[in-house]
C-alpha cells in the first residue's frame, strides 16, 4: 500500500504537489503539511462552509441555501446564462422541504400546533416527504391522505418515514371525498392538530419570499434578467416572483411554465379571461385546475406563461442526464425546457434562473422504462443517440 502511495506521489505533477504542500508516504513529516496551502485550493467551498456553519436546530435549519448550477450546454446553445437552483440537495430531496418547514413553523408560531402535535395533509408527492422529515425532526406525528392511484412505493416511503398513510379513492376536488377534504376533516377531529393545506396556506408562498428568492438574488449578485418555473401549489412561482419583482423594482421578468392539462397557461395568456383545460401530463405535482390562494396575490406580476409539452419535458430529462450529468425528475426538466424557451424568446445575453425541483430517483421506473415511454407515445421524444439511457423494460 505504501509503495503504491509513493509511486502515485512520484508521478504526480510536481507543480500540484508543490502547490498543495501536503505530506505523502514518501515525505510524511508534518512539516511538509500546509493547511493554508490546502485551503487555498478550495476558497469557494470554504467560503460557503463558513456561511452555512452548523445546522444548530437540526434538520430544519439545513433546509435551503442550495447551489445555483450553470447548465453549460443550454447556456452555450442559447447565448444566455441558464442557471438551475439545485433543490434536490435539500435534506428531503426536493424544493417542497421549504414549504414543509414554513407550514409547520407558521402553525407553531401561531400557537395552533403545540409540542407532540399532529400534522395532517393531503398530498401524493414531495410535500408529504418534506413534512415527514420536518415532523420527525420536530417531534410531531404526521397523517397523509393520498389518492389510491399512487404507487405502493410512495405509500411505503411515507410509512418508512413515520407517517400514517390513508390511500382513498381518487375523485375531483369538488367532491367532498377528495383526499384534501378528507385530510381537513381528519385534523378537525383531533386535539392539537393542524391541516397544513399546502395549496391555499400562504405560509407556503412565504417560504420562497423569505428564502428562495433572496438566495437567487444573492447568488447572482442581482445579475438576473428572468425567472421561470411551473405552478402546482404555486408557492415557488408566487414567492420568487414577488421577491424578485420587488427587489429589482420590476426589472426581472417572471414567466410561469405549465404542462398540458392545466389552466394556468391559458389563464395568464388571456389576462384571466380563459380557463381552458386540455389533455393531461406525465409530470407530477405541477399544473393546476384553479388559481390557488398562494398564486392569487402575485398572478398579475407575471410577465407571461410558457406551455411545455410532455415531449419537451422528456427530451430534457435525457439531455440533462447526458449533457450536464444531472439526474432530474420530469417537473424539473419541464422547468429547464421552459428556461431554454425563455432564453430563445428573450435573446442572447440574459441570465435566466429556474428550479431543479427534485431528482429522478422516485420516477426512474417510468422515465427510463421503454414500456412506459411507449405507453405514453414518448419514445420518439428521446433523441436517438440518448436511447442508450432507456435501460428498463
CB atoms near residue 192 (< 10 Å): 13
Residues marked active site are found at: 96, 331
103 and 223 fall within a common domain: no
Query: Do 135 and 246 have their domain in common?
Result: no
Question: Is residue 286 domain-shared with residue 363, that is, in the same domain?
Answer: yes
365: in domain: yes
**Same-domain pairing of 268 and 299:** yes
In the predicted structure, residue 31 carries a pLDDT above the cut 60: no
Question: Does 16 share its domain with 131?
Answer: no
Q: What pLDDT, on the 0 to 100 scale, is given for residue 280?
A: 83
Whether 236 and 375 share a structural domain:
yes
Average pLDDT of the chain, as a whole number: 90
Q: How far is CA 307 from CA 166, 267, 313, 320, in A?
A: 34, 12, 11, 19
The mean pLDDT value for 91-97 works out to 96
Banded pLDDT at 63 (limits 50, 70, 90): very high
| Residue 319's CATH number | 3.40.50.1100
Number of alpha carbons in the 13 Å side-chain half-sphere of residue 216: 35
Give pLDDT, residue 16. 44
Residue 350 located in a structural domain: yes
Range of the domain at 9: 2-41
Contact assessment for residue 126 and residue 96, using Cβ atoms and an 8 Å cutoff: yes
If asked whether residues 84 and 100 sit together in one domain, one would say no
Q: What is the pTM of this model?
A: 0.88
107 with 216, same domain: the answer is no
* Average confidence (pLDDT) over 150-167: 89
Final residue of a domain: which of 195, 221, 248?
195
Read off the pLDDT of residues 105-119 as tens digits, 9 standing for 90 and up: 999 999 999 999 999
Distant-in-sequence, close-in-space partners of 233: CB < 8 Å, separation ≥ 6: 99, 127, 198, 199, 204, 292, 294
Set of cell numbers at residue 127: 410535500
Q: What is the mean pLDDT of residues 138-146?
A: 97
331 dihedral zone (left: phi>0; alpha: psi -120 to 50; beta)? alpha
- Residue 28: band (very low, low, confident or very high) from pLDDT cuts 50, 70, 90: low
Range list of H helices, the chain: 2-11, 14-20, 35-39, 43-52, 72-78, 96-109, 126-138, 152-160, 179-188, 203-207, 213-219, 235-247, 264-269, 310-319, 330-346, 364-367, 370-375
Greater pLDDT, 380 or 172:
380
Say if residue 17's pLDDT is above 50.
no
In a domain, 381, yes or no: yes
Q: In this structure, are 8 and 134 located in the same domain?
A: no
What percent of the chain stands above pLDDT 90? 74
Mean per-residue pLDDT, 119-141:
95
Percentage of the chain exceeding pLDDT 70: 90
Q: Is the domain of 296 the same as that of 343?
A: yes
> Is the domain of 190 the same as that of 304?
no
Decide which of 149, 168, 195 is a domain's last residue: 195
Asked if the structure places residue 55 within a domain, the reply is: no
| pLDDT at position 13 | 46
Q: Is residue 48 part of a domain?
A: no
Note the pLDDT tens digit of each residue in 276-294. 777 888 888 888 888 999 9
| Interatomic CA distance for residues 358 and 88, integer angstroms | 4
Could you tell me which residue, 3 or 282, shows the higher pLDDT? Answer: 282
The verdict on residue 204 lying in a domain is: no
pLDDT tens-place string over residues 237-258: 999 999 999 999 999 999 999 9
With a cut of 90, say whether residue 34 has pLDDT above it. Answer: no
**pLDDT score recorded for residue 130:** 96
Higher pLDDT, 272 or 97: 97
**pLDDT digit string, tens, across residues 179-203:** 999 999 999 999 999 999 999 999 9
- Domain-terminating residue out of 195, 223, 249: 195
* 184 and 112 belong to one structural domain: yes
- All cell numbers assigned to 153: 412505493
List pLDDT tens digits, range 327-357.
999 999 999 999 999 999 999 999 999 999 9
Domain-embedded: residue 191: yes
Count how many domains the chain has. 3
Q: Say if 49 falls within a structural domain.
A: no
Is residue 356 within 8 A of residue 86, CB to CB? The reply is yes
Amino acid at each position: 500500500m505504501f509503495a503504491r502511495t509513493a509511486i502515485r506521489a512520484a508521478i504526480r505533477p510536481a507543480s500540484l504537489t508543490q502547490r498543495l504542500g501536503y505530506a505523502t508516504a514518501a515525505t510524511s513529516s508534518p512539516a511538509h503539511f500546509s493547511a493554508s496551502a490546502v485551503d487555498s485550493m478550495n476558497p469557494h467551498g470554504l467560503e460557503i462552509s463558513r456561511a452555512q456553519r452548523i445546522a444548530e436546530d437540526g434538520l430544519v435549519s439545513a433546509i435551503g441555501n442550495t447551489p445555483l448550477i450553470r447548465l453549460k450546454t443550454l447556456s452555450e446553445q442559447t447565448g444566455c446564462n441558464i442557471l438551475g437552483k439545485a433543490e434536490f440537495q435539500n435534506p428531503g430531496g426536493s424544493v417542497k422541504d421549504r414549504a414543509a418547514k414554513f407550514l409547520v413553523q407558521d402553525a407553531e408560531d401561531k400557537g395552533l400546533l403545540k409540542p407532540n402535535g399532529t400534522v395532517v395533509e393531503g398530498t401524493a408527492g414531495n410535500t408529504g416527504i418534506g413534512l415527514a422529515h420536518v415532523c420527525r425532526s420536530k417531534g410531531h406525528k404526521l397523517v397523509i391522505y393520498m389518492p389510491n392511484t399512487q404507487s405502493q412505493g410512495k405509500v411505503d416511503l411515507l410509512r418508512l418515514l413515520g407517517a400514517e398513510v390513508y390511500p382513498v379513492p381518487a375523485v375531483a376536488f369538488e367532491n367532498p371525498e377528495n383526499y384534501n377534504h378528507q385530510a381537513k376533516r381528519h385534523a378537525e377531529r383531533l386535539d392539537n392538530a393542524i391541516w397544513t393545506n399546502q395549496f391555499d396556506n400562504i405560509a407556503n408562498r412565504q417560504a420562497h419570499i423569505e428564502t428562495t428568492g433572496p438566495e437567487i438574488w444573492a447568488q447572482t449578485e442581482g445579475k438576473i434578467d428572468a425567472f421561470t418555473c411551473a405552478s402546482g401549489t404555486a408557492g415557488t412561482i408566487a414567492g420568487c416572483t414577488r421577491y424578485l419583482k420587488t427587489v429589482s423594482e420590476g426589472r426581472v421578468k417572471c414567466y410561469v411554465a405549465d404542462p398540458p392539462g392545466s389552466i394556468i397557461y391559458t389563464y395568464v395568456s388571456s389576462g384571466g379571461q380563459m380557463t381552458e383545460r386540455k389533455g393531461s401530463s406525465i409530470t407530477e405535482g405541477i399544473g393546476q385546475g384553479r388559481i390557488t390562494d398562494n398564486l392569487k396575490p402575485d398572478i398579475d406580476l407575471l410577465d407571461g406563461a410558457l406551455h411545455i409539452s410532455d415531449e419537451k419535458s422528456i427530451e430534457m430529462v435525457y439531455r440533462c442526464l447526458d449533457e450536464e450529468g444531472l439526474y432530474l425528475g420530469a417537473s424539473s426538466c419541464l422547468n429547464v425546457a421552459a428556461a431554454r424557451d425563455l432564453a430563445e424568446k428573450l435573446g442572447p445575453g440574459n441570465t435566466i434562473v429556474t428550479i431543479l425541483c427534485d431528482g429522478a430517483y422516485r420516477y426512474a421506473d417510468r422515465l427510463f422504462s421503454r414500456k412506459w415511454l411507449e405507453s405514453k407515445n414518448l419514445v420518439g421524444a428521446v433523441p436517438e443517440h440518448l436511447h442508450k439511457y432507456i435501460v428498463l423494460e
